[in-house]
Amino acid sequence: MLKKTLLATASLILCSFAQDFTYCAKPLANTPGILKIEGKYINENISKTSIDIEWHHNPAAQDSFFISTPGFEKLLYITAGDYRFVKYMNTGAKRQIGGRQMRENIGNTPMKFDDLELLANGWFLCPDSTSSDPRILTTAIPETQAILELDSLPQPKEISVQRWNDNRSYSISEWKEFSGNILPETVSITGKNFSGTVRFSAVQQNAAP
């Protein structure tokens, strides 16, 4: 079973641990927990849009993402690394998510399923085997191909991400501890045709999804 622990913020978790980069690949998060993710964007249609996600992380089993976007059916994204699917909450219908589907936008936001996959199952080769610069990382899983360049370690303020025709830049103002993992509290994101912010916050372990 290939289980391992908004994309971009996934890389931020890795950097926060001040890890010894000689040991690779690295999981992003080892501590179980429940986190709330709030994204607000100006999308490619120059329209305001938002997404609310409750992320239930379990390194030993599957991860669950409860997703709500205005004007779209609520979704439950389930992934254990070697399988993944979306459940449509109104109808109960299920849809398998493969490599191609992971690049789809969620609702009318720039958030994609592979962003969630990196949070749940993102392993990184560190440093990138093609680079001598330890601030350049590459993902270890084919379905989440990306190269990340950090301005500093272990808690970068600026990150640039290169991936399949969807390069992005991230700015982090502050880091905090959530459910035992160090995460950026607020991330500003800029893509080729959108901009926005993503915020992380803690959820009580006994809270209902």
Predicted confidence at residue 51, as pLDDT, reads: 98
Predicted confidence at residue 170, as pLDDT, reads: 94
Predicted confidence at residue 19, as pLDDT, reads: 42
Predicted confidence at residue 69, as pLDDT, reads: 97
Does 25 sit behind a cis peptide bond, omega within 30 degrees of 0 on the bond before it? yes
Query: What's the mean per-residue pLDDT of the chain?
Result: 81
Strands (E), the chain: 26-27, 33-42, 48-57, 63-68, 75-79, 84-88, 94-96, 123-125, 136-139, 147-150, 158-162, 168-172, 175-178, 181-184, 186-191, 195-202
The pLDDT tens digits for 18-33 are 344 444 555 566 788 8
Predicted confidence at residue 78, as pLDDT, reads: 96
Predicted confidence at residue 133, as pLDDT, reads: 75
pTM confidence score: 0.82
Could you report the average pLDDT of every consecutive run of 10 residues in the chain (209 residues)?
44 44 54 93 95 93 96 95 91 92 92 88 63 75 79 90 88 87 89 94 64
CATH of 8-202, one of 1.20.58.1690, 2.30.29.30, 2.40.50.140, 2.50.20.10: 2.50.20.10
